[in-house]
Chain A
């Protein structure tokens, strides 16, 4: 029994992990782009971007999942997500990427705006280009500053992936819950908790390591 539960949960967790990793792969860079948009001194860009961030951060991810999965089919009379498990997974991924890009963009924005203007000006008077200033001077300082809020957000993401089951993406809790019906046992559910605990524990260690790695310098 233990073995079959473990195997079932592992399949579910593989889906969880896939959703987690792919969400990060797309939303980390997309969030940076959105943060640039929200900081640009160009009204027709800045305000729509800020409005969009407000909508996404102000409504439940659960709601966004439902709207993104069912919306196109009902409005366009055409299921753009494709059929079956992979279609639902794609829809879930899109919802997660949009949602997390917006959260990340706000963390990036806070980090970028906290860098003193003197750092940019020092780079400018030394004849550096805007790109050089951003990549050689600003970026690492921003990364150092945003590690704590980022690690919070990313650990929240591990747990948020379980919301994908609302559109029947078979993640780890869904697998655990299925044993309540099929075998009348509850312990697989606690077992899923262990998966999350171990995974978020590993992430905590990883971020702690990154923080330590960047501890060799101090920003003001």
Chain B
């Protein structure tokens, strides 16, 4: 098992946003998370990426406990940073660094990390970054700044930037929601290619047919709990639970 999440809970003030989330993933799995607005999908991804601290629960990657409440208070910034690197996160709003070119956006974090650990080899870094941009279909845009790129291109740079750190699990939070419809295809295509290469991914999305085709498993969340979980074709085409059926009927 590459990822194991057990009894994860998170509240903001008095609102319980994640009530008791448990699931696991095998290496190479693609997991889609669907659910209505406010069901806690973003919060779950943010907990995995240490942007939020869960109140309770355990997160394990490759049998290593990254989070449990007993650990959390004693973790230093450096420890959190190291744990974070097991995950990558692609944001809905891209969040590219505007003062850097596409290539520099991809190289920035690995080169800064390499400065801290002199044992790391940086000689291949720009080749690696160029390779990733090529994989995203963006070789010609390597020297362009974010504002010179379309939304779809920016999001693909953001994917390359996350991949450059070689995370165990790459998370996407509605990667196409901020895009015009004609640009979603190019982003979904590169995610599909990543799936074909057995990249372990968690994808929060409202693109139901994409989720069904590209992912092995799917989770339907509602009100901070997992209502239904199973093979993506079954969850999306033939849900068992009433709440899931009701939700999916909006997408028919």
Contacts and interface: CB of A to CB of B under 8 A. Distances in A.
Interface of A: 116, 118-119, 121-130, 132, 136-137, 140-141, 144, 216-220
Interface in B79-136: 81-82, 84-85, 87-89, 91, 93, 95-99, 108-109, 112-113
Contact of A129 (B49, B81, B161): B81
Interface string B71-85: 000000100011011
Contacts of A140: 99
B51 A125 contact: yes
B109 A217 contact: no
A116 B96 CA distance: 11
B179 to A, nearest CB: 16
Contacts, number: 66
Given A125-B49, A125-B89, A127-B85, A217 B95 contact: no
A122 B88 contact: no
B145 A136 contact: no
Given A119-B95, A119-B97, A126-B165, A218 B108 contact: no
14 contacts: A121-B95, A123-B109, A124-B50, A125-B51, A125-B88, A127-B84, A127-B165, A128-B109, A129-B77, A129-B81, A136-B108, A140-B99, A144-B99, A216-B145
B249 to A, nearest CB: 33
Given A217-B145, A218-B147, A127 B95 contact: no
Interface of B: 49-51, 77, 81-82, 84-85, 87-89, 91, 93, 95-99, 108-109, 112-113, 145-147, 161-162, 165
